[in-house]
Each structure stands twice: as structure tokens, then as C-alpha cells.
Amino acid sequence: MQRVNDHWIGANANPGNNLWARATYFSGNMAHYQLTRVSRYLNYAVAWAEQNNYSLNGGAATRNADNHCAGQTYLDLYQELGGANKIAVLEESLSLMVNSAKRDDWWWVDALHMAMPPFARLGALRNNTSYWVAMYQLYHHTKRLRPDRLGRVTGLLSEFTPLWYRDNAYAIDGPNQFSPNGKPVLWSRGNGWAIAAHAKVLKVIPLTDKRGPEYAFTLQSMANALRPIQRADGFWNVNLADPAHFGGPETSGTAFFAYGIAYGIRAGLLDRATYLPVVARAWNGMVETAVRADGHLGYCQGVGAAPAPVDPDQTADYGVGAFLMAGTEIAALTT
């Protein structure tokens, strides 16, 4: 983890913007800091947040889940250092959503990871379950009740397996529903976003909350579906339903799956004897295949919405972030 994170920081002296991709890296970076307490990781995150004025892309009025991803690191920095200014814009933005009746904003699966954790954490921080109620309504709409462009009611959770379509274009009757081989398109990183969202929410929302068991059941169901389709090298293919659709290995989805499953083991939601080998194969596969000696993390599929070719040189901020999240959760299994 140190090798990978140090390589990323060394290659990116400018910490970057506050968009979802870089924000996902910083979520992993802060997890790494919380594990190691190495000051350079905290300092790098502070420099990023200050460079972006603890703001959101689109400002406080934004309802776009991608723009809320930065709030995860702002909340981490608030937790570590205090300072109401760190979460002021995030809180204003989410409060505007909580206090409106609109609940159809999240139409793509990535939105779950980008925005659910800030809703969950602000609800806990302010002891205000209105955030949790609004989050569940947004989530439920994404999962089950979203009408497509022709007015047909569908959802992003697959009808046939507890895995997720990226958006309605890939769901049943969508224009991109089939791979070139005639199989469903269940994008690896899209499902990675989903399982990571459930893990992050379950770190905050107790199972005694009436919405908690659904989040836990969904994570368990995803893990059960992912286990038999893991590749022998520890990775998952870019299309979970079609190994021939560009094949693998691919790091970003694999890292998120390792993160979510490791959390499930640690939280007692998944059987350790059954799932620890899955996590070990994923981690060892990434370390042996995707991590170079200098810390470069490869095999990360580029920005997209569907399976695409991957090569050994491809890296990405969100991939590094997912790798750091995974490593942090796996390290926690040893304590």
C-alpha cells in the first residue's frame, strides 16, 4: 500500500480537482492514513481539500451524486482535525436534497458509492435520521423503481442475479443490454461501486435501523454471486457475465470487491472460512500482477460506463483509491 500510494503522490505533485475520480483516490488515501498515521498522507489530503476550498463541483446547489464524492474526504478531515468549514458546503448541499421531495436523482450505479456514504455519515454526525431516510429513498429508486426513457419501470439491480446494471441502457430492453456474445453486460467496476457503497454505509448505519438489514442482505448477496465467478488469478473480468467480453485482469473492480468482501467478513456478515480465500486471492493477484516494483498500479480500466479493453500500463486515481481501501480492510482482518 505504501509503495502504491507513494508512487501516486510522487507522480502527482498537484493533488488535483474535486471531481469524483480524484475524490475516490482521496477516500482511499485517508483510509491509508487512518491505518498508518503517516503524516504525509494526511498532509496531501489537506493540500487537496484546501486547494479546492472544501467545495463541491457545482456548488451547494448540486444534486449530482458524483459531485458529493469529495464530501467523504472532507468528512474524514473534519473527523481528524475539526473545523466546521470543512463540511459546510457538503452539509448545505445534502440538506437541500433532504428537504426537497425529489428522489429520482441517482440513475446510474456509480451514484451509490459517490453519495450514499456522505448521507449516512452526516446523519450520524448530526443525529438526524432524515439523511438516512432520504438516502434510502434515493437508493430504492435506483435499485427498483426508476422508469426508463420509454416509461417502463425497471431498476438497476438485475432481475436474474444480485448484481447491478450500470444504468438503464444496459438493463433489460436497453440498447446496450447484450455483449457482442449475446450475454448480459454486468460491468465489474459498476458492481464495485455498489458493493463499496454498501460497506461504507454499513460502517455507519446499525443493523437495528430498519433499513440496515436490506443493505446487509444486498452486500451478502453480491458476495455470494461474486465468489464463483472470480478468476483463478484472483481478479474479476470487466464483464462479470461474459468472460470473453474483453477478459481481464482488471484492477479497479477487483479492488472494490476485495474491499466490500473484507468488510463483510470483519463485520460478521460473511463467513470467514468461505470468503477469506476470495479476498486473499484478489489481494495477492493484484500485488503480483498489477503492482510494479516502483509502485505503479496497472490494469485499471479507464473512465467509462461499460466493459472496455485494459492494458498493464493503465492506472487511475480511483483505482489507486480502491486498492488502498481494500488493503486497509484486509489489514483490519488481522487485528
Q: How is the chain split into domains, by residue range?
A: 97-332
Task: Please name the residue that has the C-alpha cell 486498492.
Answer: 323
pLDDT tens for 225-258 read: 999 999 999 999 999 999 999 988 999 999 999 9
Q: HSE (CB half, 13 Å, CA atoms) of 119?
A: 29
What is the C-alpha to C-alpha distance for residues 152 and 132, in angstroms, rounded to an integer? Answer: 28
Helices (H) and strands (E) in the chain, counts: 13, 2
pTM comes to 0.96
Topology given in CATH for the domain delimited by 97-332: Glycosyltransferase (1.50.10)
Nearest to 194, CA basis, from 253, 141, 144: 253
Please, what's the b/e burial string for 202-241 (b: 16 or more CB within 10 A of its CB; e: otherwise)?
bebbeeeeebbeebbebbbebbebbeeebbeebbbbbbbb
Half-sphere exposure of 76 (CA within 13 A, CB side): 26
121-144 pLDDT, tens digit per residue, is: 999 999 999 999 999 999 999 998
> What is residue 40's predicted lDDT score, i.e. its pLDDT?
98
Burial 31-49 (b: 16+ CB within 10 A, else e): bbbebbeeeebbebbbebb
- pLDDT tens-digit readout, 70-82: 999 999 999 999 9
Cβ–Cβ under 8 Å, residues 57 and 19: yes
The pLDDT, as a whole number, for residue 146 is: 56
Which residue ranges in the chain fall short of pLDDT 50? none
Spatial neighbors of 127 by CB under 8 A, at least 6 apart, are: none
Q: What is the spatial distance between Cα 319 and Cα 14, in angstroms, rounded to a whole number?
A: 18
Rg (CA), the chain: 19
Instruction: Report the alpha-carbon distance of residue 115 to residue 100 in Å, rounded.
Output: 16
| pLDDT in the model for residue 151 | 62
In this prediction, residue 148 carries a pLDDT of 55
| Dist CA 247 CA 244 (whole Å) | 5
**Number of CB atoms found within 10 A of residue 20's CB:** 25
Share of the chain above pLDDT 70, in %: 97
